[in-house]
Amino acid sequence: MAKSKGKILVVDDNSGIRAALKLLLPMHFAQVELISSPNELVSRIAEFRPDVVLLDMNFHTDINTGNEGLFWLSEIKKRCSDIEVVLFTAYADIQLAVEGMKRGAFDFIVKPWDNEKLVETLKAAYTHRIKETGHSEQDNPASSLKMHWGKGLAMSTIRRTVEKIAPTDATVLITGENGTGKDVLAGEIHRMSDRSLKQMVSVDAGALTETLFESELFGHVKGAFTDAHSDHTGKFEQANGGTLFLDEIGNIPLHLQAKLLRVLQNRAVTRVGDTKSIPIDIRLICATNKDLEKMVRDGEFREDLYYRINTMHLHLPALRERTDEILPLAEMFIGKYSERYRREVTGISPKAKEKLLTHRWSGNIRELQNCIEKAVILSEGNTLTVNDIQPAPPQAAAESESMIGEDTLEMTEEKAIRAAMNRFGGNLSMVAKALDISRPTLYAKLKKYNI
């Protein structure tokens, strides 16, 4: 029987049942986690992001509703309605299980269960989730990213601040050099928030051209422009109830900043080509590698928008300023890429460690990650040697550092073309029209940027 891609979370206080399912379910699903208490349910869902929850209906604690299964079913559906729930019940509680289906459960399984019936029901629940949402949590790489805090003073201070602000809806501005992990920190804030069971939608705001800006962020209706063949839901609507992460916000042109500010002030969007205002409920996180205060002084960034997005400000220090994290991060990447590339690398030689610690890492964590990935691929033993570690040459690193926070015109152009190609599924006519260039010009640029 083919293994499904689904992620299954089992909640049952019976150790014997958990032991049996621990053997059965991994043969059929990509990832399986089992917990004994529903008190862990909310935090585990936020961290593990399951597609389907197999939920026992009765635990030790007495809940006023008369059945804990119904209570926790309601909690799951309230926090993350697209997760499917299969109820696990004794024969005597079948009537309660039927009530559970009326309240949103996908199906129920009666104990003692038939293995084939259980697996097929969970697979059906997973298939239904994919059909309804178009994706599995496993397909979302952001859901698996974890923040590495380290033990240094700077990161410990940021962590304490994040623990305070994450449960609120306060808007957060994250600054720092390229490669410091601003997107990962945004994901961590979302994961620790009360919106964690909803989606975090990420947008590279700097890659949106003027033509695409309103359509991508606010959506459009059918017929709004020549190639608008159907309604399109914008990123603000997609993030409704969850978190919207606007990366590279410092790259948004001044005249488009006013349109963004209007939506943030009104907490509503109007799709391109429509007159109806759609209320939105989002938690906004922004990131940039630019000095926005200087841009405000120079008239390149709106002061009112700056204060709107800067309720809380977190600055991620460069990796060279937190050298205590270099080796732990390297070891984390070794584990990741050893598994991906089926290598048996388990350590780093003393000289290799010294080389890692003395390199400047102008590309920060991203450069370190790329370096370790390449080292693992090229390694011939269980330990990375000094020859395996090949960071960027000093000259290249210096050039990279001098460009931090400053995208060239070509980089901006390439980002815009790639975003348009992705947006219109490679339809060159629509891409050329959106970018306001001719098809021959588009062909030349596709060749230039090897797209």
pLDDT tens digits, 315-342: 999 999 988 899 999 999 999 888 878 7
Task: Check whether 52 has a pLDDT greater than 60.
Answer: yes
Position 265 scores a pLDDT of 94
Q: Residues 189, 131: one domain? A: no
Task: Check whether 63 has a pLDDT greater than 50.
Answer: no
Position 64 scores a pLDDT of 40
Residue 262 covered by a domain: yes
Q: pTM score > 0.75 for this model?
A: no
pLDDT band at 349 (very low <50, low <70, confident <90, very high): very high
Q: What is the DSSP letter of 163?
A: H
Task: Check whether 298 has a pLDDT greater than 60.
Answer: yes
Task: Check whether 99 has a pLDDT greater than 60.
Answer: yes
Q: Residues 204, 129: one domain? A: no
> Mean pLDDT throughout 49-71?
75
Q: Residues 156, 68: one domain? A: no
User: How far is it, in rounded angstroms, from Cα 439 to Cα 428?
Assistant: 7
Q: Residues 44, 75: one domain? A: yes
- Do residues 40 and 31 touch, judged by C-beta distance below 8 A? no
Q: Residues 296, 362: one domain? A: no
Count of domains forming the chain: 4
Task: Give the residue carrying structure tokens 């559970």.
Answer: 100
Q: Residues 179, 266: one domain? A: yes
Residue 146 covered by a domain: no
Q: Residues 173, 291: one domain? A: yes
Q: Residues 68, 111: one domain? A: yes
Q: Residues 126, 196: one domain? A: no
Q: Residues 220, 304: one domain? A: yes
pLDDT band at 4 (very low <50, low <70, confident <90, very high): low
Residue 147 covered by a domain: no
Q: Which residues pair with 34 in a beta bridge?
A: 10
Domain, as residue range, for 327: 319-402
Residue 37 covered by a domain: yes
- Closest by CA to 187, choosing from 176, 173, 201, 175, is 201
Positive/negative CA dihedral, 185, 187, 191, 192? positive
Q: Residues 105, 79: one domain? A: yes
pLDDT band at 372 (very low <50, low <70, confident <90, very high): very high
Which of 297, 315, 333 is a domain's end point?
315
Residue 160 covered by a domain: yes
Specify the amino acid at residue 243: T
pLDDT single digits (tens) 14-51: 999 999 999 999 999 989 999 998 888 877 887 788 99
